[in-house]
Amino acid sequence: MRRVAVVGAGMTLFRHRMLETGKEMAFEASRMALDQAGLDIKDVDSVVLGSAPDAFDGVHMKGEYLLDGAGGTRKPYTRVFVGGGTGVFVPIAAWWQVASGVADIVLVVGEEKMSPLLPHPQYAFWSIFDPILERPLGVTLLWIFSLEMRRYMHVYNVSEEDIALVAVKNKRNALDHPAAQLAANITVDDVLKSEPICWPVKRLDVSPTSDGAAAVVLASEDVARRITDDPVWITGVGWNVDSTYWTNRDLCYPEYLEKAANMAYRMAHISDPKKEIDFAEVYDPFDYKELHHMEGLQLARRGEAPKLTREGVTQRDGDLPINPSGGLLGVGNPIAAAGMMKIAEVFWQLRGEAGKRQVKKPVRRGLAQAWGDLMQVGTVVIMER
């Protein structure tokens, strides 16, 4: 197993609707990542792209369409896909190309252009459901997440106020992120009084739909030592997918995420994640998901994440900063690009390049995680200085 480093990262603004096409956004993020690594496209051996459902763009085989924007022309190029978990999975698929010795430098691109779909990007999510058993009921993505949120609240006796604290923290953190779409100073009361969409989910509990792209460059140890004094190593990768039948699982706890995390912890030789992980970018398309995921990652005991949040442990200056970037709730949620934004954030934090977002304590090891499908996929990457 060869060692694999991250040597550069880049991203576009995240906004509800962008003038740039998907190709153009992929290009901008890729160019910035290559520039930070001091590399040119001719140095790149292979390109891996991540992008979520084709239904958003109205383009079939979207990976082929985005190919030239992502720098894949006349190169080995492919697209991988695990729903919302894709953003953190693309670097994993690039990792095994470098670790196996097949490639030395891989460009990793996450792109999402959700805005083209009319009347609303949410409509694409109707087509993710079982066409025979679920779609006839008029099911929406919001249903299943609110069902999960309700179950989590019920089993661990978590209040809507506890959950709202996450939205308050992340939107405030995002005030320092130059890409942010929904950065704001809000209160718990603002969240509780925001319009109910699918109770218990309210407007301010949810991340927005977004356009955007983000990219990183991975390199083998030889290359990384040659081009940078400051490589960040990928020391653990893990992913796991649970059964399709989401109504047959207890939604109070993400077992698949625990398994994905354990796969990554084993590889990174981590036995006590709570002590050994310095900070984490966990997937927060909804505020309750940050809590849910902290528990699945075993950064908190089951039902304990709300308490840690109340005590300020997860703030940027806390003992275990969670989502110092501002997360999906604050920076925005162009799905595959949002996961890649988390990878980029861990990279910048570990290099001390996060500027006003830099967490207070010294950090050596960070974790990025994403989640998706029918509340079913966990993807985890661990990075170290």
Which residues ranging from 165 to 194 are in contact with another protein (CB under 8 A)? Answer: 178-179
CB burial string 254-292: b at 16+ within 10 A, e below? bebbbbbbbbbbebbebeebbeebbbbbbbbbbbbbbbb
- Please report whether residue 16 would count as binding another protein according to CB under 8 A: yes
List the one residue from 317, 355, 360, 364 that touches another protein (CB under 8 A): 355
The CA distance from 325 to 332, in Å, is 11
Phi/psi region, residue 127 (left: phi>0; alpha: psi -120 to 50; beta: rest), is alpha
- Verify binding: residue 334, another protein, rule CB under 8 A: no
Among 76, 276, 319, 385, binds another protein (CB under 8 A): 76
Task: Count the site residues for another protein by CB under 8 A.
Answer: 120
Provide the 10 A C-beta neighbour count for residue 311. Answer: 11
Q: Which is nearer to another protein, 92 or 329 (CB)?
A: 92
221 versus 319: smaller Cβ distance to another protein = 221
State the nearest-atom distance from the C-beta of 299 to another protein, in Å. 20
Q: Tell me phi and psi for residue 7, to 5 degrees.
A: -120, 0
Tell whether residue 64 is a contact of another protein (CB under 8 A). Answer: yes
Query: 84 vs 46, 105, 177, 207, CA distance in Å?
Result: 23, 25, 22, 13
Shortest Å, Cβ 312 to another protein: 25
- Residue with smaller CB distance to another protein, 100 or 187: 100
Query: Residues 272 to 311: which contact another protein by CB under 8 A?
Result: none
Residue 292: which of 168, 201, 166, 204 has the closest Cα? 166
Q: List the structure tokens of 282.
A: 């966990």
221 binds another protein (CB under 8 A): no
Rounded to a whole number of angstroms, the distance between the first and last alpha carbons of the chain is: 18
For residue 81, state whether it binds another protein (rule: CB under 8 A): yes
Among 275, 301, 356, 364, binds another protein (CB under 8 A): 356
Cβ distance 87 to 370 under 8 Å? yes
For position 127 contacting another protein by CB under 8 A, the verdict is yes
Is 71 among the residues that bind another protein (CB under 8 A)? no
Please state the length of the chain: 385
Q: Is residue 15 close enough to count as binding another protein by CB under 8 A?
A: yes
Binding residue for another protein, selected from 238, 296, 306, 326, defined by CB under 8 A: 238
- Cα(309)–Cα(320) distance, rounded to whole angstroms? 10
Here's the x/- map for another protein, 18-37, by CB under 8 A: it reads as xxx----x--xx--x---x-
Which residues ranging from 133 to 172 are in contact with another protein (CB under 8 A)? 133-134, 136-140, 142-143, 146-151, 154
Q: In the complex with another protein, which residue's Cβ is closer, 137 or 226?
A: 137
Task: Work out whether 265 is an interface residue with another protein (CB under 8 A).
Answer: no
Q: How far is the CB of 121 from another protein (least distance, A)?
A: 8
d(CA 297, CA 294) in angstroms, rounded, equals 5
Residue type at 307 in one-letter notation: K
- Per-position DSSP letters for 313-354, written without gaps between them: TTSTTSSS-B-TT-HHHHH---HHHHHHHHHHHHHHHHTT--
Q: What distance in Å separates the CA atoms of residue 112 and residue 70, rounded to the nearest whole number?
A: 12
Among 242, 278, 281, 284, binds another protein (CB under 8 A): 242
Applying CB under 8 A, which part among 290-298, 307-315, 360-368, 372-380 lies near another protein?
372-380
Binding-site member from 12, 207, 228, 314 for another protein (CB under 8 A): 12
Q: Based on CB atoms, which residue is closest to another protein, 2 or 275?
A: 2
Instruction: Tell me the closest approach of the beta carbon of residue 49 to another protein, in angstroms.
Output: 9
On whether the CB atoms of residues 23 and 66 are closer than 8 A, the answer is yes
Q: Which residue has the tokens 């170290």?
A: 384
Question: Which of 53, 91, 296, 327 is the binder for another protein (CB under 8 A)?
Answer: 53
Torsion (CA) 333, 338, 344, 346 in degrees, nearest 10: 80
